[in-house]
Amino acid sequence: MYDLAEGVGTFQRDVFPAKAELFAHLADTHRPSTLFISCSDARVVPELITSSEPGELFVVRTAGNLVPAHTPAPDGIAAGIEYAVAVLGVQEIVVCGHSACGAMTALAARQDLSGVPAVADWLRHADASVARTAVGRQDVAALVRENVLAQLANLATHPSVARARAAGAVTLRGWVYDIPTGTVEELDVTGRSAALAA
Protein backbone atom coordinates (compact mmCIF):
# COMPACT_ATOMS: atom_id res chain seq x y z
CA MET A 1 0.00 0.00 0.00
CA TYR A 2 1.25 3.47 -0.90
CA ASP A 3 2.28 5.52 2.14
CA LEU A 4 0.52 8.88 1.78
CA ALA A 5 2.59 10.52 4.51
CA GLU A 6 5.76 9.51 2.69
CA GLY A 7 4.28 11.00 -0.47
CA VAL A 8 3.65 14.30 1.33
CA GLY A 9 7.26 14.28 2.48
CA THR A 10 8.44 13.77 -1.11
CA PHE A 11 6.20 16.61 -2.27
CA GLN A 12 7.50 18.99 0.40
CA ARG A 13 11.13 18.02 -0.10
CA ASP A 14 11.36 17.61 -3.91
CA VAL A 15 8.31 18.97 -5.73
CA PHE A 16 7.25 22.08 -3.84
CA PRO A 17 10.68 23.78 -3.81
CA ALA A 18 10.98 23.41 -7.60
CA LYS A 19 7.57 25.08 -8.03
CA ALA A 20 7.68 27.51 -5.09
CA GLU A 21 7.23 30.55 -7.32
CA LEU A 22 4.16 29.01 -8.98
CA PHE A 23 2.59 28.14 -5.62
CA ALA A 24 3.28 31.67 -4.32
CA HIS A 25 1.43 33.03 -7.37
CA LEU A 26 -1.44 30.56 -6.90
CA ALA A 27 -1.85 31.58 -3.26
CA ASP A 28 -4.04 34.48 -4.37
CA THR A 29 -4.77 33.64 -8.03
CA HIS A 30 -7.27 31.03 -9.22
CA ARG A 31 -7.85 31.24 -12.98
CA PRO A 32 -8.04 27.75 -14.51
CA SER A 33 -8.77 27.71 -18.22
CA THR A 34 -10.53 24.34 -18.30
CA LEU A 35 -13.21 22.51 -16.35
CA PHE A 36 -12.27 18.83 -16.61
CA ILE A 37 -15.04 16.38 -15.74
CA SER A 38 -13.74 12.86 -15.40
CA CYS A 39 -14.43 9.56 -13.73
CA SER A 40 -13.46 9.03 -10.10
CA ASP A 41 -11.43 6.00 -11.20
CA ALA A 42 -7.97 6.15 -9.59
CA ARG A 43 -6.35 5.23 -12.91
CA VAL A 44 -7.56 8.47 -14.51
CA VAL A 45 -5.45 11.46 -13.42
CA PRO A 46 -6.48 14.57 -15.40
CA GLU A 47 -3.39 16.61 -14.55
CA LEU A 48 -1.11 13.74 -15.57
CA ILE A 49 -2.97 12.97 -18.82
CA THR A 50 -2.91 16.64 -19.89
CA SER A 51 0.53 17.51 -18.44
CA SER A 52 -1.14 20.39 -16.61
CA GLU A 53 0.42 22.48 -13.89
CA PRO A 54 -1.36 23.28 -10.62
CA GLY A 55 -3.98 25.93 -11.22
CA GLU A 56 -4.68 25.07 -14.86
CA LEU A 57 -7.58 22.62 -14.45
CA PHE A 58 -10.72 22.85 -12.35
CA VAL A 59 -11.54 19.17 -11.85
CA VAL A 60 -14.88 17.56 -11.06
CA ARG A 61 -14.77 13.79 -10.69
CA THR A 62 -17.81 11.54 -10.56
CA ALA A 63 -18.38 7.81 -10.89
CA GLY A 64 -18.74 7.17 -14.61
CA ASN A 65 -17.99 10.85 -15.40
CA LEU A 66 -21.73 11.39 -15.10
CA VAL A 67 -23.21 14.89 -15.22
CA PRO A 68 -26.85 15.01 -14.13
CA ALA A 69 -29.04 17.25 -16.28
CA HIS A 70 -29.86 20.55 -14.59
CA THR A 71 -32.57 20.55 -11.93
CA PRO A 72 -33.45 23.24 -9.38
CA ALA A 73 -32.49 20.93 -6.49
CA PRO A 74 -29.16 21.47 -4.68
CA ASP A 75 -26.43 19.49 -6.40
CA GLY A 76 -22.70 19.52 -5.72
CA ILE A 77 -21.80 18.73 -9.33
CA ALA A 78 -24.02 21.52 -10.63
CA ALA A 79 -22.43 23.89 -8.12
CA GLY A 80 -18.95 22.96 -9.33
CA ILE A 81 -19.96 23.49 -12.96
CA GLU A 82 -21.63 26.82 -12.23
CA TYR A 83 -18.65 28.08 -10.21
CA ALA A 84 -16.16 27.08 -12.92
CA VAL A 85 -18.17 28.72 -15.70
CA ALA A 86 -19.81 31.74 -14.07
CA VAL A 87 -17.14 32.71 -11.51
CA LEU A 88 -13.83 31.36 -12.79
CA GLY A 89 -14.68 31.90 -16.45
CA VAL A 90 -13.24 28.67 -17.84
CA GLN A 91 -13.03 28.73 -21.63
CA GLU A 92 -13.50 25.03 -22.23
CA ILE A 93 -15.15 22.05 -20.58
CA VAL A 94 -13.92 18.52 -21.20
CA VAL A 95 -15.99 15.46 -20.34
CA CYS A 96 -13.53 12.57 -20.30
CA GLY A 97 -14.56 8.94 -20.31
CA HIS A 98 -12.07 6.07 -20.22
CA SER A 99 -11.47 2.47 -21.14
CA ALA A 100 -12.44 -0.26 -18.68
CA CYS A 101 -14.75 2.10 -16.78
CA GLY A 102 -16.30 0.15 -13.90
CA ALA A 103 -19.57 2.09 -14.11
CA MET A 104 -19.98 1.46 -17.83
CA THR A 105 -18.88 -2.17 -17.46
CA ALA A 106 -21.56 -2.72 -14.80
CA LEU A 107 -24.22 -1.23 -17.07
CA ALA A 108 -23.07 -3.11 -20.17
CA ALA A 109 -23.05 -6.42 -18.26
CA ARG A 110 -26.36 -5.59 -16.56
CA GLN A 111 -24.78 -6.38 -13.21
CA ASP A 112 -27.00 -6.74 -10.16
CA LEU A 113 -26.44 -3.52 -8.21
CA SER A 114 -29.01 -4.19 -5.49
CA GLY A 115 -26.21 -4.45 -2.91
CA VAL A 116 -25.03 -0.93 -3.75
CA PRO A 117 -28.26 1.07 -4.04
CA ALA A 118 -26.57 4.49 -4.07
CA VAL A 119 -24.44 3.35 -7.02
CA ALA A 120 -27.50 1.97 -8.79
CA ASP A 121 -29.37 5.27 -8.32
CA TRP A 122 -26.37 7.28 -9.53
CA LEU A 123 -25.91 5.18 -12.65
CA ARG A 124 -29.45 6.07 -13.75
CA HIS A 125 -27.83 9.27 -15.06
CA ALA A 126 -26.44 7.02 -17.81
CA ASP A 127 -29.86 5.75 -18.95
CA ALA A 128 -29.67 7.75 -22.21
CA SER A 129 -26.22 6.30 -22.86
CA VAL A 130 -27.47 2.76 -22.39
CA ALA A 131 -30.51 3.42 -24.57
CA ARG A 132 -28.27 4.61 -27.42
CA THR A 133 -25.92 1.61 -27.23
CA ALA A 134 -26.33 -2.04 -28.13
CA VAL A 135 -25.40 -3.16 -24.63
CA GLY A 136 -23.38 -6.30 -24.03
CA ARG A 137 -20.02 -7.18 -22.54
CA GLN A 138 -18.30 -6.57 -25.87
CA ASP A 139 -19.88 -3.11 -26.14
CA VAL A 140 -18.27 -1.41 -23.14
CA ALA A 141 -16.13 0.75 -25.43
CA ALA A 142 -19.21 1.84 -27.39
CA LEU A 143 -21.07 2.60 -24.16
CA VAL A 144 -18.12 4.68 -22.88
CA ARG A 145 -18.32 6.79 -26.06
CA GLU A 146 -22.10 7.16 -26.00
CA ASN A 147 -21.87 8.11 -22.35
CA VAL A 148 -19.45 10.95 -23.06
CA LEU A 149 -21.85 12.31 -25.69
CA ALA A 150 -24.86 11.95 -23.38
CA GLN A 151 -23.07 13.73 -20.55
CA LEU A 152 -22.14 16.59 -22.89
CA ALA A 153 -25.85 16.90 -23.69
CA ASN A 154 -26.67 16.95 -19.96
CA LEU A 155 -23.96 19.53 -19.38
CA ALA A 156 -25.54 21.81 -21.97
CA THR A 157 -28.77 21.93 -19.89
CA HIS A 158 -27.02 23.84 -17.09
CA PRO A 159 -27.96 27.54 -17.31
CA SER A 160 -24.42 28.83 -16.74
CA VAL A 161 -23.14 26.60 -19.55
CA ALA A 162 -25.99 27.53 -21.89
CA ARG A 163 -25.35 31.26 -21.32
CA ALA A 164 -21.60 30.90 -21.83
CA ARG A 165 -22.09 28.88 -25.02
CA ALA A 166 -24.57 31.41 -26.38
CA ALA A 167 -21.99 34.13 -25.76
CA GLY A 168 -19.24 32.06 -27.44
CA ALA A 169 -17.32 32.04 -24.16
CA VAL A 170 -16.98 28.29 -23.65
CA THR A 171 -16.35 25.22 -25.80
CA LEU A 172 -17.49 21.70 -24.88
CA ARG A 173 -15.26 18.74 -25.67
CA GLY A 174 -15.73 14.99 -25.33
CA TRP A 175 -12.68 12.80 -24.79
CA VAL A 176 -12.04 9.10 -24.28
CA TYR A 177 -8.79 8.10 -22.55
CA ASP A 178 -7.42 4.60 -23.19
CA ILE A 179 -5.60 3.41 -20.09
CA PRO A 180 -3.27 0.74 -21.59
CA THR A 181 -2.07 2.88 -24.51
CA GLY A 182 -2.30 6.42 -23.11
CA THR A 183 -4.13 7.60 -26.21
CA VAL A 184 -6.85 10.22 -26.00
CA GLU A 185 -9.55 10.50 -28.65
CA GLU A 186 -11.79 13.51 -29.13
CA LEU A 187 -15.38 12.79 -30.13
CA ASP A 188 -17.51 15.02 -32.31
CA VAL A 189 -21.27 15.27 -31.83
CA THR A 190 -21.86 12.33 -34.19
CA GLY A 191 -19.58 10.11 -32.11
CA ARG A 192 -16.77 10.04 -34.67
CA SER A 193 -13.38 10.23 -33.03
CA ALA A 194 -9.95 11.59 -33.82
CA ALA A 195 -6.80 10.94 -31.82
CA LEU A 196 -5.33 13.98 -30.12
CA ALA A 197 -1.75 14.76 -31.16
CA ALA A 198 0.84 12.33 -29.89
The residues that are catalytic are 39, 41, 43, 98, 101
Residues 6+ apart with CB under 8 A from 159: 70, 82
The answer to whether residues 39 and 97 touch, using CB atoms and an 8 Å cutoff, is: yes
Q: How far is CA 175 from CA 54, 71, 94, 127, in A?
A: 21, 25, 7, 19
Q: How far is CA 68 from CA 64, 73, 101, 152, in A?
A: 11, 11, 18, 10
Dist. CA 86–CA 30, nearest whole Å: 13
Dist. CA 158–CA 189, nearest whole Å: 18
